[in-house]
Chain A
């Protein structure tokens, strides 16, 4: 059985395909859970008894993805002095990619907000609606460099005995 602890330990040797699946799981699980709840359950289209196992599955996917991604980047993003030049170069590339993604998201959201406020009307902010955004920012922004590293690094060549 794969526990978060064993997943964390195995991740440094994970293949790129597995890493990318975990990145997708981490970044889609929680948003799908929130979108599904607000569109299906809160509106009464889907009973909570059916939604509950889906919530557990999506939340588990998010947890597995986050643990796996942190497991892959452990000791690499935050300990540059222990890395060789190729590893440092890959980490730099991951940081560039993650800052690019973050900047793009901020610009897109600001643009959409500006367009909405200009052409549609005002937005009433409530703490209940902002909660998921705070959680998403708190979880995903620190995770971005690790996720970019797990996504971009090619599979390591196998070692040889001689």
Chain B
């Protein structure tokens, strides 16, 4: 799931945090505690109502052990359809 964060009408930042949290079984509070921010801030970022600073974005990406462009993007992330899930399952098996 990709959610846009609008800092203005032209600046849109999409993120995959809800998907990554769900994948790793991490609550907003857990993520917030690990990053030293308020749990509501995680919610605002996920919901697209706050675009984090570069520093916080890098720390979030580091928390998920992913490059920052895998967590945040200026373009909408591709939806994970059935084809992508099957390809991932095949990759995991093989």
Chain A interface (Cβ within 8 Å of chain B)?
83-87, 89, 154, 156-162
Contact = CB atoms under 8 A, between A and B. Distances in A.
Contact of A156 (B29, B44, B53): B44
A87 B32 CA distance: 13
Interface in B38-75: 38-41, 43-47, 49-50, 52-53, 56
Contact of A86 (B25, B27, B28, B50): B50
Top 8 nearest A-B pairs (CB, nearest first) are: A157-B43, A84-B37, A156-B40, A86-B41, A86-B50, A162-B27, A157-B47, A84-B38
Contact of B43 (A84, A158, A161, A162): A158
Contact of A85 (B25, B27, B43, B56): B56
Given A85-B52, A85-B56, A86-B50, A157 B40 contact: yes
Contact of B44 (A83, A157, A161): A157
Contact of A161 (B27, B40, B45, B50): B27
Contact of A159 (B43, B44, B47): B43
